[in-house]
Structure formats: C-alpha cells, structure tokens
Amino acid sequence: GLAGVMGGANSEMTDATTDVLLESATFNAANNRRTGQALGMPTEASARFEKGLSPDLAPLGLARATQLIQQIAGGTVAKGMLDVFPAKDSVASPILLRMDRLEKVLGVSFPMERVVNVLVSLGFEIETEGENSLKAKAPYWRGDISIEDDLVEEIARIVGYEAIPTTMLSTPIPPYLPQPMQQVREGIRDQLVALGMQEIITYSLTNLEELSKTNALDGESQPLRVANPLSSQHEHLRTTLRSGLLSTAGTNLSQGNAPVSIFESGHVYLPRAGDLPAERDMVAGALCGPRWEAHWLEEDEPMGFLDAKGVLERLFERLGAECVFAPSHDPMLSPGTCAEISVGDTSVGIVGEVNPSIAASFQVEGYPLAFFELDAESIVKSMPPIKYAYKPIYRFPAAVRDLSVIVEQDVPSAQVQEIIQRQRLVERVQLFDVYEGDNIPAGSRSLAYHIYFQASDRTLTSDEVQKAFQSIIRSLEQQVKGELRA
C-alpha cells in the first residue's frame, strides 16, 4: 500500500477475516501531496492528509473506530495500544503570553481573568498562571497558533477590535521625505493614461535577436546574461524598452486591436565594464494604426510622428516643464522624422517614426509606427521647481494678425515661434499652415501663424498692433533670414 494514499490488497478485510489490527496515523502533508500527484492517485485519504491533520487526532480516531466495530460487528477488544511517534514532545508546546506584550501590541490592558476566560472559551488549556504571564496550549484543531502574537490576535478578535480605544502614537510621526524620482515617474504614467494611452508591462528579460532588431547592440558590450534562463527567449537583461514595446504593438495590430497607443515605464540595465549593469528609469511609448476607430463619418487617417510629438508636448505641459524639439538621428528611426527632446539644456529623450524595415520585423506594416523614449532620471534633474501661476481672464479683446514667413528648411518652427513670442504684446502664437511648392524657393518652406496681440489693462490700438507686427518681421529677418511671403 501507499501510506496516506491507498491501502494494499494484502491488508484489506474480507468475509473470512476474524482478527483485525487497526492502524491510525498522520503523515507529512507536503510529502503526502507530492506522492499522490506523482502517481496520479488523488484519493479521499490523500485529500484529508494533505490538509495537515493534527497528530492528536490519531488516538481519537483509533478509539472511535474500535468502538464502532465492537458495537456493530461484535468481538473482543485487545487491551493496550502501541504509540510510535518520535516527535511527540514537540507537538502543541505551551505558548507563553505576557501581559505587557498584550498591552504593547493592542495599546490597552485586560484583566488576567478576562484573558483566561477568552482563551478557555476557544479551547485552549491554561497550564500555568502567574501575576503577569500565563502559558496556554492550543487545541489540536488550531494548527495556526504557534507564537505569542497569535494569542494576542485571538484575544483582540474575541474582545472586539471596536473595544480597543483610539490613542495617539507613542512615537513622533516620521517627517515626509520627498521622492522626486517616484513623483515624476508616477506623474508621467498618470498623464499618459489621461492622454488616452494604455500602460503595458513586459518582461525584463529578452534575447539578443530581439535587441538586435532595434539596433540596441553596439558590438562592444553585451547585455548581462542570467545564469539559469527559463527559456532561450529570456536570456539577457534588457538594455532598452524598445523591443518589448514594439513587439506588443505589432502583436496587437496584427490581431486587429487598433488603434494602438501604448507605453511602458520600467528599468533598463546598461552594461558596465567590470561591474554590474547600471539601472535607468525609462519610459517609452508607441502609436500606430488609424487615429480613431473606423466610423462611416470619418476617413481612416493614420497616426504618426506629429501625434507622438503632440502627446509629449501635452505631457511636459502638465508636468510643468517646457520641452524643445530639435532634429536628431537614431539608428532605429527614419531620417527626417526624428527629433531630440530637451528640457532646458538637458536631453531627456527622443521621438520619431520607426524605420519601415525595422517596423516590419515586428509585424507592423501598412501604418507608420511612431515611437518616443524618455529618460526619467534626466527629466528629474532638468525640471525646474513647479510653480503654478494664475492670472485673470482678459477683459479686453485680442487683435489677431496672420503672418506667413519663408524660412530655410533647417529652421525649426519652434525657433520662429519663440522669436514671435518675445514681443511683449503677443499673448499667443499658433502655427496653422506649412507649405512647400510653387513660388517657394528650393530648400525653403512657408510657415503661417495666427498671432494674438492683447493687453490686460486696455484695448490695443491699431497703431500699437501694427508697430508690434513690424517689430516681429524685423526680428525674423535678422535672426533667421525670414522673408515675408506675399
């Protein structure tokens, strides 16, 4: 037979049985469960012993079985019982309960008589009792009672948690320690979710093939390899969030879950010579597919670089920081749709459209794949203290002028907008058109802006607006060689 699982045929009773030897035992719960699972024999016996039955039940069960056999089948019961239990002395040892410990944990003292009555009502045996302590032995059905604080919990449970009075803390409240890294990381996550993106969580382990798809391997230093990888797909610590993010985007797009607008916040592990990898907090996002779900009133417009840029502009605006975009280069992103993101003088990330060949390796085809990556630690270091400024609504109307200026291709719109914004009467500037084509010199483009002139204390005169407008034109001519478009 198998102890605790199933008896053997040579020990079963038959119609010819005249003498019966009863065995009552308990078994190690973990071993019993493993045996039953390994042999595929989930029996009623194994189900009982898997629960970790108390050894005190063995003599009780033996006595009850003997009594029933004698009453129903008759016969003579032999005297005596053999008890073989090597760990008998270690079972249900008395637990010391000190009154000062009870008061320290619960914050209130109870009379010794009340404590004894509670424990006795729960089946505990009080072995010794003193003025400030007692020893209690747990009943066999309470295998969860093993330490002093278990007794304290039982007393609190029976007396009632509502009977414990509210008191002040016995120690001073520790001062609040700002955690700028955590605040920025949580702020970025909250704002991206508010902007309609969904957060994903991917494995921190990856493989060299996935990393090579995003050109994340430089050939000099290799990502750290774990000693006992669970599979060939999860051998190395990731050095970037790119591969996991783009793989998730491709999977969703190929399964028809579009539009895809996802981001991930997590650690990357950058190799260091002769040392453990350096951990960096990074945030990356991807946008792909139609800008909105299919609708008979709307045409299918794909998301792209400008959508990702718009998300980042709103993100930094809500974080209280001003970001600047400048043309850049990244081996994973397409030339002409790649921009570096800076806050102040610090580079904090990059945004652009993934090279179509790289996007195709992640099952993204038919749509541009916009991508951005932010270094959370650099954002923390570069962000100025957040100051919220409020101003009343203007009581006087704004004067709006449109300006169309021709500049060279390499002059970013943000630079032109900054020059316009420096004029003290300009309240707001809005780019509404970019044109390249007929009547525009080669290597140049036309940028058109709405310019809002406004003052808080008066209505501006036409002369004031015209002078400010001419001042802007002169500044553009001097600083970016801008030419007013006819």
H helix or E strand, kind and range, residue 404: strand 399-408
pLDDT at 92: 65
What is the DSSP annotation of 239-255?
S-SHHHHHHHHHHHHHT
Q: Give the per-residue pLDDT at 8.
A: 73
Overall residue count recorded for the chain in this entry = 486
Is residue 480 over pLDDT 80?
yes
In the numeric block, the tokens 């056999």 are attached to 69
Whether 128 shows a pLDDT value over 80: the answer reads: no
Confidence category of residue 91, pLDDT binned at 50, 70, 90: low
- Minimal CA–CA distance to 339: which of 325, 322, 356, 321? 325
170, pLDDT greater than 80? no
Mean pLDDT confidence for 200-219 = 86
Place 139 in a pLDDT band, splitting at 50, 70 and 90. confident
CA dist list (Å): 372 to 186, 262, 266, 459: 18, 11, 14, 43
Q: In which residue are the tokens 């990330």 written?
A: 349
Of 422, 180, 431, which Cα lies nearest the Cα of 309? 431
The structure tokens 């005596």 sit at 80
> Which domains does the chain show, CATH number per domain?
9-88 (no CATH), 92-163 (3.30.56.10), 180-218+230-382 (3.30.930.10), 399-484 (3.30.70.380)
> For 411-467, what is each residue's pLDDT tens digit?
888 889 999 999 999 999 999 999 988 888 888 999 999 999 999 899 999 999 999
Helix (H) or strand (E) holding 334: strand 333-343
Nearest to 52 by CA among 87, 6, 4, 8: 4
Residues 248 and 288: beta-carbon distance below 8 Å: no
Q: Which of 117, 73, 374 is nearest to 245 (CA)?
A: 374
- The 10s digit of each residue's pLDDT in 255-303 is 888 889 999 999 999 988 888 889 999 999 999 988 877 676 777 788 9
User: Bridge-partner residues for 298, per DSSP?
Assistant: 295
Query: Of 46-50, 310-314, 458-462, 463-467, which gets the smallest average pLDDT?
Result: 46-50
Grade residue 399 by pLDDT with cuts at 50, 70 and 90: very high
Residue 121 has pLDDT above 90, yes or no: yes
Q: Assess contact for 222 and 251: CB atoms under 8 A.
A: no
> What tokens does 263 get?
């981001």
Q: Is the pLDDT of residue 55 over 80?
A: no
